[in-house]
Amino acid sequence: MYPWWRGAVLYQVYPRSFSDGNGDGVGDLPGITERLDYVAGLGVDGIWLSPFFVSPMKDFGYDVADYRDVDPVFGTLADFDRLLARAHALGLKVVIDQVYSHTSDAHPWFAESRRDRSNPRAGWYVWADPRPDGTPPNNWLSIFGGPAWEWDSRRRQYYLHNFLKEQPDLDLHHPEVQEAILDVARFWLDRGVDGFRLDVANFYMHDPLLRDNPPRTHPDPVKPYLLQSPVYNRSRPENLAFIARLRRVMDAYPGTMTVAELSGERPVETMIAYTVGPDRLHTAYSFVFLKQDFSAAFIRETVESMGAAWPSWAFSNHDVVRVATRWGGERPSSAFAGMLIALLATLRGTAFLYQGEELGLPEAEVPFENLRDPDGIAFWPGYKGRDGCRTPMPWAAAAPHAGFSASSPWLPVDPAHRALAVDLQEADPASTLSFTRAFLAWRRLHPALARGDIRFWEMPEPVLGFERGDEGERLGCLFNLGRESVSVRLPVGVSPLGSSFLTGASIDGLEVRLAPSGVAVIIVS
């Protein structure tokens, strides 16, 4: 019996931008609940909810001030319980974000820790004395710019923050901190969630000796962080001991899962290290398909290098430029967007779709004066930040604010997104939304696409070809990643049998013709 998450398709909901239930311009839990029928209708297996916990929103929820309650902007715990019950009634699993690397500086734990050096939580965060000249204890840099250290006048020490200065790092070397975090996990598992997406899971531990990070070269260092190899404040071997403790907690709740977000210079190796073995996480994703250019060879090399580990794959999320723009250019076609959906859902692994990906939404243009992301504001214009992928979901083309809210939303709706609104695409059988529904429904009829092995075929660029198979059936998958029509022959020993899913493709004997962004998923012998 396969676990539910193995080969599942999960739909990421960014609560601030999905659906506004109370009309204040910010998406919320009741708004999500109202739209769960739409999500279930896509044919996905569950949802991943980005943070909805109490927070000052300096990093829009990834700075948690109370792990066990809902921020009033999103609703209440009762609203979450109703969302969870409705999702389960629709057959959807619910995975929620958990941010264990750091808290908000407004968290009561930090308020106590910073009070003095002798209080019960004095060691719950990473504190260090200055160097003799008053400078920070080492050269570590924050991802959001500047040193990863902030001076605190109460303790006369620096505290570590790998992200914003309002996000102090917990010291997970401390046994009491580990227990507190594991109790947070149990709180939500007891409430009935089906799993956790673990934010920055390889940032949990730091080098206790606080050694300087070595330099590294980078072709486009828009951030100084990119000129340092963070070997002493990321992917520390001590992380894995805490991961093992967390896995034991998960194992006490049968049917639950963990998916880690991992970043690093060797993303595939890190994914394997964090997922292979009974005391590791269930699955993980990296940024390997979230920031790289794509090609058939690159996709093949990445997937093959995972070996027996079970990966998760995402092409878009709330942190990166939407894939329709990143890989498709300024005017991505609906055929290109549909091909990416089919490709993501046929690779061996668990697939994560980001809200709006099923509409083929391109990256939104957000003027500087409307930016909310501190990362984008700090590094404009070389880096425009994450607001362009976080703008409101367009539900109705002609409605105020595209049907997202009755009030002016927290980020503006991109006018280009109105033409791709849900109501228009539902009425168009050739739309990306219609393709997504049709393909995911067809995929459900063929379990080998979810759980089967994968074997790549030798195909010329820009064609990606592979076979998914189990004891029940074999399916050949062909994708034209290029802008010109191509014809390819099926490999020796592979013959089409019957039912196929073709779009922009045709089969003549053993020859398959693929239009630009053409897709052919073929039952083969």
Residues known to be catalytic = 199, 261
CA dist., res. 149 & res. 161, Å (int): 6
| Two tokens, residue 305 | 């290098």
Q: How do strand 93-98 and strand 66-70 relate by DSSP bridges?
A: unpaired
Beta carbons of 27 and 16 less than 8 angstroms apart: yes
Q: What angle do CA 368, 374, 375 make, to 5 degrees?
A: 90
Nearest-angstrom CA–CA distance, 151 and 13: 36
Counting DSSP H helices and E strands in the chain, the numbers are: 16, 19
**Residue 350 and residue 338: Cα distance in Å, rounded?**
18
- Interhelix angle for 175-191 vs 77-89, to 10°? 60
Taking alpha carbons only, the member of 223, 226, 161, 227 closest to residue 380 is 223
Nearest CA to 243 among 273, 285, 209?
273
Tell me the backbone φ, ψ of residue 326, rounded to 5 degrees.
-60, -40
A 10 A CB-CB count for 310 gives 19
> How far is C-alpha 365 from the geometric centre of its chain's CA atoms?
21
Residues 6+ away with beta carbon under 8 Å from 113: 119, 121, 122, 123, 124, 125, 127
Q: Which residue has the tokens 């609203």?
A: 79
Q: Within a 13 Å sphere around the CA of 338, how many CA atoms are in the beta-carbon half?
A: 25
Q: What is the Cα Rg of the chain in Å?
A: 23
| Percentages (nearest 5) of helix, strand, coil residues in the chain | 30, 20, 50
**E strands in 310-356:** 312-314, 350-354
Distance CA 217, CA 481 (A): 31
Closest CA to 478 of 437, 441, 512: 512
- The answer to whether 197 and 95 are in contact (CB under 8 A) is yes
Nearest to 231 by CA among 269, 201, 203: 203
What does the chain come to in residues?
A: 525
List b or e across 367-387, with b for residues whose CB sees 16 or more CB atoms inside 10 angstroms.
eeeebbbbbbeebeeeebbbb
